Structure 1
Amino acid sequence: MTFTPDHFSVWIEIPVTDLDRAVSFYNDVFTTELTRVSDSGPNEFAMFPVKNGGCAGHIYPGTPPARGTGPTVHLACPDTLEGTMERFAKAGGDVISDPIAIPGGRFAYGIDPDGNSIGMFASQ
C-alpha cells in the first residue's frame, strides 16, 4: 500500500538567530501576526497563523544552515508575488530569482536575514 496523505508536509521549523528581528521580518513580509509561545518547550518560538487551527509551523531560536544551503520553505503570499518580493527585500531579505511560473501558480526564491532559503508562492 502506498501512503498518500492529504497533506504530506505537516510542520515547518525555521531556525533564526534573533527571534524579535525574525518575527518583525516575517510579519512585515507576509502581512501577518506570528503568535509568540513561551510556555511550550525549552525556548520561546513564534507560530505562523492558519485558519481553523490547522498546522503550519514556527520560527525558533536556533542555528540556521550556511546561507542558502538548507531546505527551501515555501510560504503563501498574502497578495501578489511582486508585492511580497518587494516587502521581502525592504525588510532585509535578498530576493534571488525572478518569478517562476508552475502549473499551480508562481513563486520566487529569497534568502531571509538569517540565510534561510524561502520561497514566496502565489497561486493562480
Structure 2
Amino acid sequence: MSGVEDGVRLVAYFEIPVTDLDRAVAFYEGLLGVRLERAVVDGHPMALFPPADGVGQATGALAAGESYVPSVDGTRVYFEVDDVPEVLARGVAAGARVLYPPASVGDGQVAELEDCEGNRVALLSHA
C-alpha cells in the first residue's frame, strides 16, 4: 500500500508569488529555458509554466496579486534540471542569490536560490 488513494496526485499544481510579473517571467524563462504563457486566472495576472508531460509531474505558474507574497520561508518548489551548477550560474547572472550551493544528494545534486522576487526555489538533478 502506497498511502495514496487511486486517482490522487500528491502535487498537481503550484504557484510562485511575484510582485513584478514581467521581471519574474524574464528571470524564469532565462533560468529554465522555457516559455511561459500569460493568463489571467480568477482576476490574477499569471504566467503558466509548460504543461507537465508525465504522470505524477506537476506544473504551475508565477502569480501576482494581493494574496501572493514572495518569501524565502515556507514551501520550496524544486525544478528538475539537467545540470544544477549550470542553471544556478544562469540564475546568479540574472540576479539570484545562492542560498544553498550545489551538493550531492543520493544519485543527484541539489541547490537553492533566492529568485528575483524574493522566493526560495530549488534545483534538482538526477545524474
Fold conserved (TM > 0.5)?
yes
Query: 2: CA distance between counterparts of 1:55 and 1:9?
Result: 6
Matches for 1:92-107 after TM superposition, within 5 Å: 92-107=95-110
Q: TM-score w.r.t. structure 2 length?
A: 0.82
Return 5+ residue gaps in structure 1 as ranges.
Answer: none
Pairwise CA distance, 1:23: 0.4
Structure with greater strand share of residues: 2
The list of structure 1 runs, each at least 4 consecutive aligned residues, that deviate by more than 2 angstroms after superposition, is: 1-7, 50-55, 62-66
Pairwise CA distance, 1:60: 0.7
**RMSD value over aligned CA atoms?**
2.3
Distance change in 2, residues 1:115/1:105 (3 Å): same
Between the two proteins, the alignment pairs up a number of residues equal to 121
Return 5+ residue gaps in structure 2 as ranges.
Answer: none
Q: TM-score w.r.t. structure 1 length?
A: 0.84
- What's the secondary structure of 2:89's corresponding residue? helix
Matches for 1:1-124 after TM superposition, within 5 Å: 2-3=3-4, 7-38=9-40, 40-52=41-53, 55-62=58-65, 63-66=68-71, 68-77=72-81, 79-124=82-127
